[in-house]
Amino acid sequence: MTSIADEARLVLDNFADRTTSIFHPSLRLGVTGLSRAGKTVFITALVHNLLAGGRLPLFKAQANGRILGADLREQPDDAVPRFQYEDHIRRIVEERVWPESTRAISELRLTVAFESASAFRRMLPGGKLTIDIVDYPGEWLLDLPLIDKDFATFSAESLERARLPSRQKEAAAFLAKLAEVDLEAPADEVTARDLSVLFADYLKACRADTTALSTLPPGRFLMPGDLDGSPALTFAPLPVEPGRTYPKGSMAAHLSRRYEAYKTVVVKPFFRNHFARLDRQILLVDVLQAINAGPEAVADLETALTDILACFRPGRSTWLGSFLTRRIDRILVCATKADHLHRESHRRLEAIVRGLVDDAISRANFSGAKTEVLAMAAVRATREATINDAGEDLPVIVGTPAAGETIGERTFDGKAETAVFPGDLPADPRKLFDPAGGVEPGSLRFVRFRPPRLQQTAEGLTLSLPHIRLDRTLEFLVGDRLQ
């Protein structure tokens, strides 16, 4: 995936990071997930609960009273946008609306002061751990395998996916334009631009709620950021023949060069400057959306998650070896939006996600990394209840659906609470891949709920944001570094 020069630069960057960490212990935590998995909400809730001393009974350092305080610090990378925590928490708590989704990479530095669990070390001054949170779109990870693929391979795989029955409608306009292109004709910038726009439109349409497909590289076509309209993003797959050399200046040669430029100026810098410097990783997965879209969406999500997990550098390094090579020693895969289901379905949700990533997780465990799968809601927007329906008790969730959300013929105004029976997940995850015996598309009732109104104690103290298993998430990701 990287050249000798890339690896040499990684060693130098890592050595500088590790040298600093000798005197100021730090941990770089990567937070990623495909679109609408809840990355922004997760980071905001994590920071909020640490700053506010939130309710985290299974986060041992907090539960045992050893967290002395936490505060935000200036981030180390001046060229990377800051994660706008203050804006996001205001929207969630005061406006009760969800913040904007992750569009590009951002960072936030949080320092946690703590008292050691060791009686001997408690006689020494209190410790501090600096946590650098790196937020980046999961779609960008799908670009990393492109580093080892030439234009012909990328094109063949992309066009094969575009012609799948599940994508034919979304890809129709792009494929029709592609059929008109003469690969050996002189390069035409207008045609190149039109192809790239139609290709990007097709990828974006595949990501819609009703389709919910996930394997959609190149990732920057979905989230271009400041590269929108640049030559590096003005290309598309072509039906080129492997091993064939096309005339210089032809359309095939032109777009092939653009593809290589994309890898050079977009993909490799992301890997080298950010991804290869991570210590721990959490991967957030919105599997409910894929389940509701049908078996093809679930199978496509499995492919995307496998590709993403294959990009990680898992393993455990020795203390001396960690100065030269950085490995991700803990990987947590979280099924988000657990608050959209009754707790009776949480184990099934975990089992489904575990089944999707089982092979990749096994390889990470073999390399020495520690892994776990959890069903989690960083901000709990609902509460549980039971209603009687025709003599049968049904477990339901109660919350305030966002304005414009619908169930059947009812459209919600964003003010009224309602009880929702979301439906049942299958006990056997394999049924999700079976069009005949799985979950019928659209049969599960998932709506977007507004963030909760914060509760107050009898003394008038405002409580922190409620959650589901955010404490277990923190314990897995950073608990061992707060001993």
| pLDDT one-digit tens code per residue, 59-117 | 999 999 999 999 999 988 888 999 999 999 999 999 999 998 877 889 999 999 999 87
Q: Which of 115-119, 160-164, 214-218, 410-414 has the lowest mean pLDDT?
A: 115-119
Specify whether 239 is located in the same domain as 294.
no
Specify whether 119 is located in the same domain as 13.
yes
Specify whether 221 is located in the same domain as 343.
no
Q: Which of 15-19, 30-34, 188-192, 465-469 has the lowest mean pLDDT?
A: 15-19
| CATH number, position 23 | 3.40.50.300
Residue 347: give the domain boundaries: 4-136+274-379+469-482
Which ranges of 24-150 would DSSP assign to H, the alpha helix? Answer: 39-52, 60-63, 85-90, 138-141
Specify whether 249 is located in the same domain as 286.
no
The stretch 370-377 carries a mean pLDDT of 94
Q: Does the pLDDT of residue 320 top 70, yes or no? A: no
> Does residue 454 sit within a domain?
no
Specify whether 114 is located in the same domain as 21.
yes
What pLDDT was estimated at residue 47?
A: 97
What pLDDT was estimated at residue 323?
A: 40
Work out the mean pLDDT of the chain and round it to a whole number.
87
Among the three residues 241, 267, 293, which one is the final residue of a domain in this structure? 267
Specify whether 50 is located in the same domain as 149.
no
CA angle 411, 414, 420 (to 5 degrees): 65
What pLDDT was estimated at residue 3?
A: 58
Predicted confidence band of residue 406 (pLDDT cuts 50, 70, 90):
confident
> Does residue 10 sit within a domain?
yes
- The pair of structure tokens assigned to 332 is 């947590």
The percentage of the chain sitting over the pLDDT mark of 70, rounded to a whole number, equals 88
What pLDDT was estimated at residue 324?
A: 43
Q: Does the pLDDT of residue 356 top 70, yes or no? A: yes
What pLDDT was estimated at residue 276?
A: 85
Alpha-carbon gap, residue 416 to 458, rounded angstroms = 25
Other Cβ atoms closer than 10 A to 367: 15
Domain count, the chain: 2
CA angle 119, 124, 126 (to 5 degrees): 95
Alpha-carbon gap, residue 113 to 170, rounded angstroms = 51
Among the three residues 232, 267, 302, which one is the final residue of a domain in this structure? 267
pTM assigned to the model: 0.87
Predicted confidence band of residue 319 (pLDDT cuts 50, 70, 90):
very low
Other Cβ atoms closer than 10 A to 408: 6
> Does residue 121 sit within a domain?
yes
Alpha-carbon gap, residue 219 to 141, rounded angstroms = 8
Q: Tokens 């779109």 belong to which residue?
A: 137
- Residue 315 has, within 13 A of its CA and on its CB side, a CA count of 14
